[in-house]
Amino acid sequence: MKASARLVVEADPAGRTTVRELASASPLTLLPQRGRVRRAGEPAVVHLVSSATAPLGGDDLHLSVLVGPGAALRLSGVAASLALPGHRGEPSRYTVHIEVAEGGAVQYLPEPTVITARAWHSARLTVNLAATARVRCREVLVLGRSGERAGRFTGESHVLRDGTALLRQRIEIGDEELFRSAAYLAGRRVLATETVVWGADPENALSSDWWSLQPMARGGSLATALAEDAVAAEQGLRAALTGHPGLAAQAPD
């Protein structure tokens, strides 16, 4: 299935964010949270609901998110996605592109992606930030359902601010030797990362045995946790982000 969903949020002159455009495309459904008037600076909340069988082999899914000047958005998942193999073993692809204008802020917090056995999935996230834009971007990868080996997965993330690369990373899942390697995933089934470009970064890296918060060279920080299950990985991320001064000073809604 080929699908392209699009979400545009803008701030009105009073600084209140409104959803300007919302185009779901099955299996990507965008559900705005309605029912009350937002204060200035408060993010619009949109839930990303993907159908239970997506991404499926053969799928080519695209999500494009635009956050206008001074607007704020929280885009959250509601349930884990299962990357599943197609009938004829064809690959699936999911690209997410996020553009944030000056003074804009976006929190992209999808639920975990489970790379099931025999899946062949690739994901690509690009985030283009204006000089004063902020972002939090989470990714939780689960290598297979319980008792199952993961299929194949390639994930790429590119985060740029004002045209300068802050972070470029590619993760490859599916090679048993790499998975076991203490230099790669150390045999841990869940990899959780969160890129944070949100005010001040920590002066030095913070770390525990299985999580770290690393200030990047050109701004922004990367929180990483490796764990045996998604709950522990998310706890690790939370522990790491507790030490982020920018998030502490200006807690996102």
Partner 1 sequence: MAICTAALVLADSRFPGGGHAHSGGIEEVAARGMLRDERDLRSFLVGRLLSAGLVAAVFAAAATDLTRDWTELDVEFDARTPSPAQRAASRAQGRGTLRAGRAAWPSPALDKLVAEVPAPHHAVTVGALIGAAGGTPADAAHCAGYLAVSGPASAAVRLLGLDPFAVNAVVAGLAPELAAVTELSERGHALPAGELPAPSSPALDLFAESHERIHRQEVRLFVS
Chain positions contacting partner 1, by CB under 8 A: 156, 164-172, 177-178, 180-186, 188, 191, 193, 204-212, 214-218, 222, 224, 226
Nearer to partner 1, 153 or 211 (CB): 211
CA dihedral 162→163→164→168, nearest 10 degrees, is: 120
* Least distance CB 120 / partner 1 (angstroms): 18
Q: Which helix (H) or strand (E) element contains residue 234?
A: helix 230-242
- At residue 71, the 3 state secondary structure works out as coil
Closest CA to 9 of 101, 19, 250: 19
* Least distance CB 52 / partner 1 (angstroms): 28
Nearer to partner 1, 104 or 155 (CB): 155
Cα 119-230-151 angle, rounded to 5 deg:
15
CA–CA distance, 123 with 133 (Å, rounded to integer): 23
* Least distance CB 208 / partner 1 (angstroms): 8
Nearer to partner 1, 14 or 182 (CB): 182
The two tokens of residue 68 are 């206008």
* Least distance CB 77 / partner 1 (angstroms): 21
Asked whether the beta carbons of 71 and 36 are under 8 A apart, the reply is no
* Least distance CB 227 / partner 1 (angstroms): 11
* Least distance CB 90 / partner 1 (angstroms): 24
Nearer to partner 1, 2 or 218 (CB): 218
* Least distance CB 150 / partner 1 (angstroms): 15
Nearer to partner 1, 21 or 175 (CB): 175
Closest CA to 109 of 66, 74, 157, 81: 74
DSSP string computed for 139-192 = EEEE-SSTT----EEEEEEEEEETTEEEEEEEEEE--HHHHH-TTTTTT-SEEE
CA–CA distance, 21 with 106 (Å, rounded to integer): 16
Nearer to partner 1, 74 or 188 (CB): 188
Nearer to partner 1, 22 or 216 (CB): 216
CA–CA distance, 208 with 212 (Å, rounded to integer): 6
